[in-house]
Amino acid sequence: MDFNKNEALREVLVEANATNSAGASDRFQKVVGVCHLLVSLGVILSMDYFLKRAFVAAAIKFPSALFGMFCIFSVLLILDCFAPPMAIKAMAFFEPATMFIQRWLPLFYVPAMVVLPLAVKDIPAASGAKIVFIIVGGWLASCCVAGYTALTVRNIVKTEMIPAEPMEKPPPFSTFEIASWSVIFLVFFIIAYFFPIALGTTARTSLPFLLAATVLGYMIGSRLPSSVKSLLHPIVCCALSADLAAMAFGYVSRIGLDAVLGDYLTKVPSNPGAGDILMGFLGSVIISFAFSMFKQKRLVKRHAAEIFTSVILSCIFSLYSTAFVGRIVGLEPALTVSILPRCITVALALSIVSLFEGANSSLTAAAVVLTGLIGANFVQALLDKLRLNDPIARGIATASSAHGLGTAALSAKEPEALPFCAIAYALNGIFGSLLCSVPVVRRSLTLIAGQVLM
Every domain of the chain and the residues it spans:
2-99, 110-165+296-449, 175-264
Contacts 24+ apart (CB under 8 A), 157-165: 157/305, 157/306, 159/302, 159/303, 159/305, 159/306, 161/303, 161/391, 161/392, 162/298, 162/299, 162/302, 164/296, 164/299, 164/418, 164/419, 165/295, 165/296, 165/298, 165/299, 165/419
Specify the pLDDT at position 116. Answer: 78
What is d(CA 213, CA 384) in angstroms, rounded to the nearest whole number?
A: 39
Question: 32: which residues sit within 8 A by CB, 6+ positions away?
Answer: none
CB 340 within 8 Å of CB 356: yes
> What pLDDT is recorded for position 408?
66
More confident residue, 164 or 67: 67
- Taking Cα atoms as reference points, which of 341, 353, 349 lies closest to residue 317? 341
pLDDT in tens, 340-389: 999 888 778 888 888 888 888 888 888 888 888 788 778 888 888 888 88
What is d(CA 445, CA 454) in angstroms, rounded to the nearest whole number?
14
248-259 pLDDT per residue, tens? 988 888 888 888
- Residue 17 pLDDT > 80, yes or no? no
pLDDT (mean) for 256-264: 85
Q: What pLDDT is recorded for position 176? A: 92
At residue 2 the predicted structure's pLDDT band, cuts being 50, 70 and 90, is low
Q: Is 291 helix (H, G, I), strand (E, B) or coil?
A: helix
Of 159, 136, 138, nearest in space to 307 by CA: 159
pTM reported for the whole predicted model: 0.77
Cβ atoms of residues 150 and 310 within 8 Å: yes
- The string of pLDDT tens digits covering residues 390-448 is 888 888 888 888 877 777 667 656 766 767 777 787 788 888 988 988 899 999 999 99
- Would you tell me how many other CB atoms lie within 10 Å of the CB of residue 298? 13
pLDDT above 70: residue 230: no
Q: Is 118 exposed, middle or buried (0-12, 13-18, 19+ CB in 10 A)?
A: middle
Do residues 368 and 346 touch, judged by C-beta distance below 8 A? yes
pLDDT value of residue 216: 93
Radius of gyration of the chain (CA): 24
- DSSP H helices, 386-438, are 391-413, 418-436
In tens, the pLDDT along 105-160 reads 778 777 877 887 887 777 888 898 999 999 999 999 999 999 999 888 888 887 77
Q: 3-state DSSP call for residue 386?
A: coil
Q: What is the pLDDT of residue 24?
A: 64
Q: Is the pLDDT of residue 205 over 70?
A: no
pLDDT over 80 at 16, yes or no: no
> When comparing pLDDT for 7 and 422, which is higher?
422
Contact in structure between 249 and 183 (CB atoms under 8 Å): no
Residue 426 or residue 11, greater confidence: 426
More confident residue, 43 or 230: 43
Mean pLDDT taken over the chain:
83
How many Cα atoms within 13 Å fall on the side-chain side of residue 207? 17
Percent residues over pLDDT 90 in the chain: 29
Of the ranges 100-104, 239-243, 403-407, 426-430, which one carries the lowest mean pLDDT score?
403-407
For 395-431, letters b (16+ CB in 10 Å) and e give: bbbbbbbbbbbbbbbbbeebeebbbbbbbbbbbbbbb
Does residue 12 surpass a pLDDT of 80? no
Decide if 280 contacts 259 (C-beta within 8 A).
no
CA separation for the pair 240, 388 (Å, rounded): 35
Q: How confident is the model at residue 37 (pLDDT cuts 50, 70, 90)?
A: very high
Q: What does the alpha-carbon distance between residue 74 and residue 431 come to, in Å, rounded to a whole number? A: 16
Secondary structure (3-state) at 340: coil
| Of the candidates 450, 138, 429, 398, the residue with the CA atom closest to the CA atom of residue 293 | 429
